């Protein structure tokens, strides 16, 4: 009897990170992939998946659905049973969450509830991965890197919505025994990122000779810092967690089933802008501003401890410098500048 192929469901896969996940799992597994996405403003329609040539790929099935609503019986029938769910779908722009917190939070809470309710019906589900963020832990003082299971302290409506998703997942794991893992990742870079994000924003401003605003402390002496990693590195880590680990969320152990996915080094945003300029061979004009005072909920530093995943045996295939250089050079190709909105 022929072995049944593994089936992976990816939500939010028309977005920047999701498209990299589709590309990674197509290249590194023989799994069938189900894509669920509502095609919000951040997706550019089908462009990202079209750009990686998946529409001739018979292993991928696409369903345009709004996960604010429960999956219809017809969609569930067409999808059938799945082995793994990776929930990437969420609104993620902090400024948007501050401008319209109610609808933003409702969207993110409703979609995870609807995914979990569907997961309860699946008889063959091996693992459900909820993708979350370092921002759930809140600002990190100098020298502090939060570990899996540390308390959450969200500082804005976006991070509160993600912390809410995580708490709901914990409740469903404890109450309904769903095999759920949560990943908290840090700032993500890569090709085809929305031009509102820092890396493409820097590239565009450097090309145009414009000033890059750098968020700093009140004294304008220190810029914010982040740990950056490529979306494909995160996809690789998620594959490792799916295939090589057997943990799940547990009420008796706050760290069980949780994984921090962390870039290998911390870099100041001022230094990052200058580094992008160096890769481009152009000057990065920068201006430090006290953004925290004008925008409540902005944190200068987030930091996670990535030792748990490393101890489990995972190593990132590409380091930060290689990832950044690859991303910048790809974006500067004439055929790819459209991703900058130019």
pLDDT of the residue at 291? 65
Q: Which helix H or strand E contains 202, and what residues bound it?
A: helix 198-208
With both helix axes pointing from N to C terminus, report the angle between 320-332 and 269-280 in degrees, rounded to the nearest 10. 50
Joined tokens for residue 174: 């404890």
Other Cβ atoms closer than 10 A to 110: 15
**Mean pLDDT of all residues belonging to the chain:** 93
Q: Which residue has the higher pLDDT, 95 or 64?
A: 64
pLDDT band of residue 179 (cuts 50, 70, 90) is very high
Q: Helix (H) and strand (E) counts for the chain? A: 12, 12
Least confident of 186-190, 218-222, 303-307: 218-222
Q: Is the dihedral of CA 214, 215, 218, 221 positive or negative?
A: negative
pLDDT of the residue at 144? 95
CA pair distance 36, 40, nearest whole angstrom: 12
Average pLDDT over residues 276-288: 97
Average pLDDT over residues 285-311: 82
pLDDT at 294 over 80: no
pLDDT at 170 over 50: yes
CA pair distance 193, 201, nearest whole angstrom: 10
The set of catalytic residues is 158
Average pLDDT over residues 211-220: 89
The residues that bridge with 273 in the sheet, in sequence order, are none
This prediction's pTM? 0.93
Distances (CA, A) of 161 to 46, 93, 104, 118, 148: 26, 11, 8, 20, 18
pLDDT at 292 over 70: no
Average pLDDT over residues 275-292: 92
pLDDT of the residue at 293? 61
pLDDT of the residue at 1? 42
Least confident of 55-64, 223-232, 307-316: 55-64
pLDDT at 41 over 80: no
Query: Closest Cα partner for 107 from 201, 41, 193?
Result: 41
pLDDT of the residue at 128? 98
Structure confidence by residue, pLDDT tens digits, 43-71? 778 889 999 888 877 899 999 999 999 99
pLDDT of the residue at 149? 97
pLDDT at 260 over 60: yes
pLDDT band of residue 297 (cuts 50, 70, 90) is low
């Amino acid at each position: 009897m022929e072995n049944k192929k593994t089936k992976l469901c990816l939500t939010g896969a028309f977005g920047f990170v999701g498209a990299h996940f589709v590309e990674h799992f197509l290249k590194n597994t023989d799994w069938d992939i189900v894509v669920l996405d509502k095609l919000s403003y951040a997706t550019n329609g089908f462009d990202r998946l079209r750009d990686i040539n998946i529409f001739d790929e018979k292993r991928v099935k696409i369903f345009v659905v709004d996960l604010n609503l429960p999956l219809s019986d017809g969609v569930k029938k067409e999808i059938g049973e799945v082995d793994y769910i990776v929930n990437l779908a969420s609104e993620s722009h902090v400024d948007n969450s501050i401008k319209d917190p109610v609808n933003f939070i409702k969207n993110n809470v409703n979609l995870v509830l609807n995914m979990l309710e569907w997961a309860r019906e699946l008889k063959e589900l091996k693992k459900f991965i909820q993708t979350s963020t370092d921002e759930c832990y809140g600002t990190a003082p100098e020298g502090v890197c939060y570990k899996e299971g540390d308390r959450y302290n969200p500082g804005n409506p976006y991070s509160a919505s993600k912390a809410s998703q995580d708490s709901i997942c914990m409740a469903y794991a404890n109450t309904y025994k769903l095999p759920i893992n949560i990943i908290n990742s840090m700032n993500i870079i890569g090709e085809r990122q929305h031009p509102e994000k820092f890396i493409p924003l820097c590239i565009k401003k450097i090309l145009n000779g414009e000033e890059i605003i750098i968020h700093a402390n009140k004294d304008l002496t220190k810029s914010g810092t982040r740990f950056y990693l490529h979306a494909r590195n995160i996809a690789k880590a998620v594959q490792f967690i799916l295939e090589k680990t057997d943990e799940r969320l547990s009420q008796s152990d706050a760290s069980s089933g949780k994984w921090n996915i962390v870039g290998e080094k911390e870099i100041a945003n001022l230094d990052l802008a200058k580094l992008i300029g160096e890769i481009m061979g152009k000057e990065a004009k920068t201006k430090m501003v006290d953004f925290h005072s004008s925008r409540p909920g902005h944190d200068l530093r987030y930091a996670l401890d990535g030792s748990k995943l490393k101890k489990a045996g995972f190593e990132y295939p590409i380091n930060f410098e290689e990832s950044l250089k690859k991303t910048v050079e790809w974006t500067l190709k004439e055929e790819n500048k459209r991703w900058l909105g130019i």
